[in-house]
């Protein structure tokens, strides 16, 4: 992106404000999500302020997604705070790779760029789109960030490819806070039940790769990445029970990450059931959200389908 940063930030902030005003259906959905996290009524002034800030940070996400590609490694380091990196290093010492999962927070593109710039081999999944040229543009952008993208195809085999990468000691990164298949695991978050994809836990259990929760938050001038310790449960002896238990642990970590800065959660679709006055997001002019672009419904792997969909 060649737009000067100061100008670009202002332009995208203005676009975020316009979207907040012009898309009442989306605004109501974001308000409902924020209200649940904050424990307040959707009509409260604080929720209204949080909703406007969520739109602003989402606009910032889009600007940074393209801007981060042209940052030098030195500037990237200056803007990025990383804690817990030793957990990735220790996991990779085991030789089975690791699975880094996160909610739709901060900027996962920036996190991926930072890891790749520091010598880590990192891969994710992406759903193939039509027209083909759009998909190729998306792949090229991600590859320029240093990421390896595994396309989701109807012929399948993505789970096997991810397993091979983990066996070669890669990091597999998956945004995994929304289940769109209806086959996910029920977890409690912020006092209400919702579903999370079972794919990350199943991939971890089936390959032996550690599962680490790695949220990213937006800071004034960059990003804060926190790598958590590997999640672990006492095996129950049944895969379905082990997957459910590990997914619930993942949900608890997601809840803590979101609670740390609710407005940085880019959840522009109903996180708990239907949206207010639901008639469907598209009817109300819903913009392509992170789940339309990074649609890790269930990470492509054993028992899971998902991927990243370009805007």
Q: Is residue 133 part of a domain?
A: yes
Domain range enclosing 209: 5-293
Q: Is residue 289 part of a domain?
A: yes
* Tens-digit pLDDT profile for residues 40-65: 999 999 999 999 999 999 999 999 99
Q: Is residue 302 part of a domain?
A: no
* Tens-digit pLDDT profile for residues 263-288: 999 999 999 986 565 444 443 444 44
Structurally, the chain folds into a number of domains equal to 1
The 3-class secondary structure across the chain, one letter per residue, is CCCCHHHHHHHHHHHHHHHHHHCHHHHHHHHHHHHHHHCCCCCCHHHHHHHHHHHHHHHHHHHHHHHHHHCCHHHHHHHEEEECHHHHHHHHHCCCCEEEEECCECCHHHHHHHHHHCCCCEEEEEECCCCHHHHHHHHHHHHHCCCEEEEECCCCCHHHHHHHHHHCCCEEEEECCCCCCCCCEEEEECCEEEEECCHHHHHHHHHCCCEEECCEEECCCCEEEECCCCCCCCCCCCHHHHHHHHHHHHHHHHHHHHHHCHHHECCCCCCCCCCCCCCCCHHHCCCCCHHHHCCCCCCCECCECCCECCC
* Tens-digit pLDDT profile for residues 8-28: 999 999 999 999 999 999 999
For residues 239-266, average pLDDT: 97
Q: Is residue 143 part of a domain?
A: yes
User: In this predicted model, which residue has the larger pLDDT, 296 or 183?
Assistant: 183
The pLDDT of residue 155 is above 80: no
Q: Is residue 311 part of a domain?
A: no
Written as six digits, the tokens of 272 are 């708990």
pTM for this prediction: 0.87
Q: Is residue 307 part of a domain?
A: no
Q: Is residue 269 part of a domain?
A: yes
Q: Is residue 40 part of a domain?
A: yes
């Amino acid at each position: 992106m060649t737009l000067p940063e100061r100008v670009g930030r202002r332009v995208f902030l203005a676009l975020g404000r316009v979207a907040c005003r012009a898309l009442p259906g989306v605004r109501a959905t974001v308000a409902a999500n924020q209200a649940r996290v904050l424990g307040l009524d959707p009509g409260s002034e604080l929720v209204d302020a949080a909703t406007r800030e969520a739109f602003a940070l989402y606009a910032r996400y889009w600007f940074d997604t393209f801007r981060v590609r042209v940052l030098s490694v030195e500037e990237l380091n200056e803007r990025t705070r990383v804690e817990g990196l030793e957990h990735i290093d220790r996991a990779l010492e085991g030789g089975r790779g690791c699975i880094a999962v996160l909610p739709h927070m901060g900027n996962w593109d920036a996190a991926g760029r930072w890891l790749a710039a520091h010598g880590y081999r990192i891969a994710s999944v992406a759903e193939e789109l039509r027209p083909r040229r759009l998909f190729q543009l998306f792949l090229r952008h991600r590859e320029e960030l240093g990421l390896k993208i595994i396309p989701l195809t109807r012929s399948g085999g993505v789970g096997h490819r991810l397993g091979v990468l983990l066996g070669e000691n890669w990091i597999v990164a998956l945004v995994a806070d929304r289940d769109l298949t209806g086959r996910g695991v029920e977890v409690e978050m912020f006092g209400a039940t919702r579903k999370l994809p079972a794919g990350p836990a199943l991939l971890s259990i089936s390959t032996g790769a550690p599962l680490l929760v790695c949220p990213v938050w937006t800071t004034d001038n960059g990003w804060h990445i926190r790598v958590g310790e590997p999640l672990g449960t006492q095996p129950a002896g049944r895969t379905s029970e082990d997957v459910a238990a590990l997914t619930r642990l993942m949900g608890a970590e997601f809840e803590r990450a979101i609670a740390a800065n609710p407005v940085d959660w880019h959840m522009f679709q109903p996180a708990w059931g239907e949206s207010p006055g639901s008639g469907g997001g598209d009817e109300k002019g819903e913009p392509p959200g992170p789940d339309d672009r990074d649609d890790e419904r269930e990470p492509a792997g054993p028992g899971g389908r998902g991927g990243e969909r370009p805007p």
